[in-house]
Structure formats: C-alpha cells, structure tokens
Structure 1
Amino acid sequence: MDSVRHEQILRAAVEVFVERGYRGTSIDAVAERAGLTRQGVLHYYPSKKRLYFALLHFREALTRQHVDHDDEPPDMACRFAEALEFDLGIPSLAQVHSVVMAEAAIGQEPARGFARARSRELNEMITRELTACYGPRLPSGLTARAGAAALLALVAGLQQQWLVQADEEETYPVLVRDSIRALLLGSAEAPAAGERGGQARTAG
C-alpha cells in the first residue's frame, strides 16, 4: 500500500511542478491533486524539498526501468533514443525535466543544485560507459569525456525541440539515433553487434 501511495503522490507532484514550478508549488496543491490531505502527503514527504527530489528520482527511475537492456556491448544511440522517446511519450515526465533545467539556468534553488550534481554524475557515468565500449577515444575522434558532454548537450537540445515541435514527433526517434551515432562513431550507420567491441579496441 505504501508504494502505491508514494506513486500516487509523486505523479500528482509531477503535474503540479510542471504547471507551477518549484516556487509556485505547495504541499496543499499536491495533496489536492492526489486526493489526499496535507498531512497525508507530509507523512510520506516531510517537506516540499524532499518531495521535489523524490519526484526527480522517480522520473529517472521510470526511464531507467524502460531502457535497461542486457546488450553487450551496448548500442548507446538506441538506449538514449529509447529513453528520450519514453520520456516524451509521457509529456509530464519530459516537461518536469525542462522546468528543472529552466529554473537551474536562472540560478533558482533547489533546481540549480540538483541539476549541477546530476550533470556531473551523468558525465562521469557516460564517460565510463563510452570508455568501456570504445576505449579512451571514440571512433568519431572525440575523447570519451568530450563525447559524454557533447552527447548530453545533444540529447537536451533534441528534447527541447521535440517538445516544441510535437507535430513532428514521429521523426525524432530516428533523428536522435542517427545524431548520436554520428557523434560517437562518425557515421549515422548502425554498427553490427559484433563490431561495437571491435571499435573499442581499435579506436585508441
């Protein structure tokens, strides 16, 4: 029952934060959206900040569950394309990320602190994955660290375009995959499964 109630509150919180941002959101508004009392929400999330961080991790967990694969070595272009497509298939998930980044960009807390910390974590994680897959230098010529930073920037930009141009959304999964492959591999062509590991050995 607790897990159901947690998800009920978090889904309501996502909707309210998207509509109002962090400063405009109140526990009362989230409680009303969730069909609970203020105390009912506070029982699970004692403060608005705790609720805010919980909903951000909830959003990431949903995406991660959707794109977890056992492909070895991974096709990272497909993984990122699937993650973005999943987020944008549930508009509130994509929108809450955009709201967080917009607030972070103008220095609003706690969005700024969360975004900076998460960006560092993602950069390190993707750098490790790229290094494991391709070695210290990617087939495109970028270092793994530069590739990680460029990949995150590319995905963020494509996400914004996808949200703005929703009428063209069916073209974006292919665009995302091709763009990431070009960034990492120097070509939009998908490598054969057996070739990805080979590129890791020859890229250095």
Structure 2
Amino acid sequence: MSTRGPYAKGVAKREEILQTALELFARKGYDRVSVREIARESGLSQAGLLHHFSTKEELFLEVLRRRDDRDGDPVSHRHEHSVKHLIGAVENNSSEPGLVRLFVSMSAESTEDDSPARAFFEDRYGWLRDEVSKDVRAHQERGELSPSLDADAVASLLIAVADGLQLQWLLEPEKVDMGRLISSLWETLRRVD
C-alpha cells in the first residue's frame, strides 16, 4: 500500500473543503456560514472538517491566503508584487467573482477590532504597499515615472483604486472594466513631463 494514496486523498479533500468554504463565504458572508454547513456541503461530519481545519477562523484565513497565493510568482514561488502584477491581478479578478466578493466583504469586515481577519489584512496591506512602493521607485530610477511623485502615496492610491474598482465591478460588471481603468491610471502617471 502506497503512503501517497491517503496523503493525496487528504490533500484533495482539503482542496474541496477550501473551495466549498470559498463559495459559501462569498455567497453568504463569514458570519452567516457555520462550520456544520461547510462540513455538510463538503460531504463530511463537523468532526471530519475539524480534522483538516481546527477552527472556522483557520479555514477562513486559509481561503484568504489561497486567493493571495494565486498572485505569487508560479516559476520562482516568490510572493512578490509590482504595479504590473497588481494590474494583472485586477484584470484576472473578473474571472473570479466569488473571490472578489469574498475579498471585498471580508476586507470591510476586518476593520472591526475583533475580526478574525484583521491581522491578515493589516499584514497584507502593509506588505502590498511596500512591494508596490519599491516598484514605483524602480520606475522612477529608470526615468519612467516622475521623481516628484511620492512612491508610497502612489502605491496606496493604486491599491485603493484596485479595491474600489472591484466593488464597482461587483455592483455593475457590465459597466466597469477594472483592468482597463487601472491600466489607464498607471499610464497617466507614467507620462513624465
């Protein structure tokens, strides 16, 4: 008997649980979904689900990490970001409305002091601002962006635009082309005088 068989089944079941949780969290919101419901939809008992994820919060944070891990560099396995990568992620988001809905709702809910996602989003936004700021400075050093711009401010504004466009797109997907709009803003900023 191969030791990889049970391991592979466990990994597959974990993936199924994550996908089910994503769909339920995206559709109903974190507070309106129970562990029992996720377990039932995954074909498990509550105890079976808790074998894979010890708490609802752990499961939820893993769903959020999975969304971000998709944006990592698949070749080098580094999780780095740039303006180009931010724009690409925004463009790709239109193919994953469930993830976008989950991200928008949970980032808003994370502003509550007792939110299980607060630390995740604080860390994520801090890291993302640092990464995009670094890339903005690199564009400035190459003469592709005005040196008079504050790199940290540009990074914060680009991230805010990306998040705001996601919300607008969820409300009116036929009217909001997220990728085109954020690309247009970046190209406007790059026009060096």
Unaligned runs of 5+ in 1: 188-202
Q: Distance in 1 between matches of 2:37 and 2:22?
A: 11
Q: Secondary structure at the match of 1:110?
A: coil
Deviations 1:119-175 (A, max 9, x none): 111111212222234339972432211111111111111111111111235x33222
- The one-letter code matched in structure 2 to 1:100 is M
**TM-score for the superposition, normalised by structure 1:** 0.76
Q: Distance in 1 between matches of 2:59 and 2:123?
A: 18
Instruction: Report the CA distance between 1:112 and its aligned residue.
Output: 2.7
Unaligned runs of 5+ in 2: 1-7
Structure number with the higher helix fraction is 1
1:199 counterpart residue number: none
- Contact kept, 8 Å, 2:82 with 2:135, in 1: the verdict is no
Are residues 1:33 and 2:41 paired? yes
Identity across aligned pairs (percent)?
A: 26
Please provide the CA RMSD for this pair: 2.8
Q: Distance in 2 between matches of 1:46 and 1:75?
A: 34
Q: Distance in 1 between matches of 2:30 and 2:108?
A: 11
Are residues 1:24 and 2:61 paired? no
1:148 counterpart residue number: 155
Q: Secondary structure at the match of 1:166?
A: coil
**TM-score for the superposition, normalised by structure 2:** 0.80
- The one-letter code matched in structure 2 to 1:16 is L
- Contact kept, 8 Å, 1:31 with 1:40, in 2: the verdict is yes
Q: Distance in 2 between matches of 1:172 and 1:104?
A: 23
Instruction: Report the CA distance between 1:11 and its aligned residue.
Output: 0.8
Number of corresponding residues: 180
